[in-house]
Structure 1
Amino acid sequence: MKRWGITIPLTGVPLAEHRELIEQLPDLGYTDAWSAETAGTDAFSPLLLASQWAPQLRLGTAIVPVYTRGPGLLAMSAATLAECAPGRFVLGIGTSSPVIVENWNAAEFAEPFGRSRDTLRFLRAALAGEKVTEQYPTFSVSKFRLERAPEPAPPIMLAALRPGMLRLAAREADGAITNWLAPGDVPTVRAEVGPDVELVARVFVCPTEDADAARGLGRMLISSYLTVPVYKAFHEWLGRGDALAPMHEAWQAGDRKRAGELIPDDVVDDLIVHGSVDECRDKVQSYVDNGLNTPVMALLPTGDNPFEHIKGLAPRS
């Protein structure tokens, strides 16, 4: 099945104003709606609404951090949404970043690989309705059981960037979710998970023919995200270490403006889809052509009507 997804809610649009758009998504050819969680809406609420507005859509979290909710609360939140969208909900979990976990949520960002593995294993048992008492390496749970386990239990996907986490996703999860990659990077990531694992990626799309404006927005985002250590290591693995080294040096020196200016145009063009709506749709399709199963577009603001862009970016039949 060809999958084509969108990130909800759209930037700058109140959640309550999404109903008409979300109701139209299946008829436009969209199969998926995925949420995110940083400092805007939480990951579950937009999907809960979408589950009632468009019962045909598959819904997914990309991602819920494994640190910012306790294991039991995370299982309860997932079970609630799975009950509202039976067979149509995917729980995507991941580590997030030290800024979100420590600076904003007062939790300790420790042992990310182990915490992801242990949370995945706990959720497998809990969402299957088991009573869980377990001393995991990174946390312990005693006598937890959901009052009502969802039927069916939702698939669990794992956010992964580099080989270790990608291989964990392939071994123990139902798919891998990745982020901030170019179409040409997909085969590198695909090689780590194998041919049969669903690979989901958020793709940043800025539908404007004003290349300078798109690159300006792209530079701001890239300098904010790719200076995070896990993303820095990810792009070194992908082969962009030298191209991004000047940005990292300026960032470390405290010159944020200069850091953005030092990102080469070709890196921005690789990582931010921009151009006409038709050009953007074709580039998103190139991710699929290179081995991605599920592109999830994150629409960047251009000042135009975002609902019209969503219509224009719908897949070709």
Structure 2
Amino acid sequence: MTARWGLTVPLDGLDPAERRALIEELPDLGYTDVWSAEANGADAFTPLALASQWAPALRLGTAIVPVYTRGPATLAMSAATLAEAAPGRFALGIGTSSDVIVRRWNGIPFTEPYRRVRDTISFLRAALAGEKVSADYDTFQVHGFTPGVVPEFAPPILVAALRPGMLRLAGRRADGAIINWLSAEDVRSVVPYVHEGGAGKEIVARIFVLPDTDEVTARAIGRRAIAAYLNVPVYRAFHEWLGRAELLGPMWKAWDEGDRKAAVAAIPDPVVDDLVLHGPAEYCREQVQRYVDAGVSTPAIALLGAADPVAAVRALAPRR
């Protein structure tokens, strides 16, 4: 069994008091980590700040914070503040996010993503170490920023990565990679690029799970989620690279033609079953372990539409 067992937070369908009670329970259930996300719901830092006080034993991680939607100094300040609140227990995951989130929702040009991530890593290394930063990077400039909060333990920096270029960057310049929307077998194609940068690189995988749900319902939920994500250009390119062009081609064609219903229906059952774990909770736990066996250091379970999130979290826990 893996030494780490993470959960994606916050959980939908719970009120604040229920969320607190569940977070407080996680260490006793065997969970070691909570990882936040940031798209159109909660921001990445606030749920972790709460968790840092509700369950001080948990490790905290962002998966991920976009490098475009906060200025470099603001990103450094947010990371330093959380690292100070949870000494030695915070990991900063950054990434490009997507054109939808960056350009369509935030009105920010989505340009030179590789260089933007590379430059952000360089800046964060200096700022989180307490250095005054004046530098002209390729994608932004920082002149005279002096960090006012310098954490005792600078957080490791992880990079959201899909294809070889960003995976190699995660291994060379960062402390590891964050991966998602892939099967356990796909992990074997991905992790070697990260480890080219050296041994000991962490691999965090967000794994979508829907336990104790009947097959028809689980696949219907999985199809909708897959259609929402895998038609985004970066994820489409990722799955073309993984070799799913033939399987997902009908979905992409229908989506491009504006037929969303046909696109969802065109997703084959084997693709859903590979990318969204479903079935009895014990089976789902075994499948999460397959990701670990393939090279994942930290699985971060993401519940997908569970009717009772508290019951699902308990059912998927390593200590039941």
TM-score interval, normalised by the smaller of the two chains:
over 0.9
Residue 118 of structure 2: aligned partner: 117
Q: Which amino acid aligns with 1:309?
A: A
Distance 1:107 1:143 in 2: 24
**RMSD, aligned CA:** 1.2
What SS does the aligned partner of 2:102 have? helix
C-alpha separation between the residues in 1 aligned to 2:86 and 2:213?
Answer: 38
- Identity value in percent: 63
Aligned residue number for residue 310 of structure 2: 307
State the alpha-carbon separation in 2 of the partners of residues 229 and 84 from structure 1: 37
Residue 284 (structure 2) pairs with residue 283 (structure 1) = no
Tell me the equivalent position of 2:181. 180
**Structure 2: gaps spanning 5 or more residues:** none
Aligned length: 316
Q: Which amino acid aligns with 2:293?
A: D
Deviation at 1:13, TM superposition (A): 2.1
The answer to whether the Cα contact below 8 Å between 1:203 and 1:284 also exists between their aligned partners in 2 is: yes
SS at match of 1:151: coil
Q: TM-score, normalised by structure 2?
A: 0.96
With normalisation by structure 1, the TM-score equals 0.97
Indicate the SS of the match to 1:205: strand
CA distance in 2, matches of 1:15, 1:64: 23
Query: Does the 8 A contact of 1:208 with 1:214 survive in 2?
Result: no
- Mapped to 2, the partners of 1:266 and 1:23 lie a distance apart of 37
Contact 2:77 2:149 in 1 (8 A): no
Give 1:15 shift: 4.0
Alignment of 1:64-143 (within 5 A): 64-143=65-144
The Cα of 1:138 is off from its aligned counterpart by 0.4
Q: Distance in 1 between matches of 2:16 and 2:268?
A: 35
**Deviation by residue 1:206-231 (Cα, 9 ceiling, x = unmatched):** 11341111111111111110011111
2:315 corresponds to which letter in structure 1?
G
Structural mapping, 1:1-317, within 5 Å: 2-194=3-195, 196-303=200-307, 305-315=308-318
CA contact (8 A) 2:221 2:305 kept: no
What SS is found at the alignment partner of 2:247? helix
Distance 1:316 1:288 in 2: 17
> Which runs of at least 4 in structure 1 moved beyond 4 Å after TM superposition?
none
Is the 2:29–2:319 contact (alpha carbons within 8 Å) kept by the matching residues of 1?
Answer: no
How far off is 1:27 after superposition? Answer: 1.2
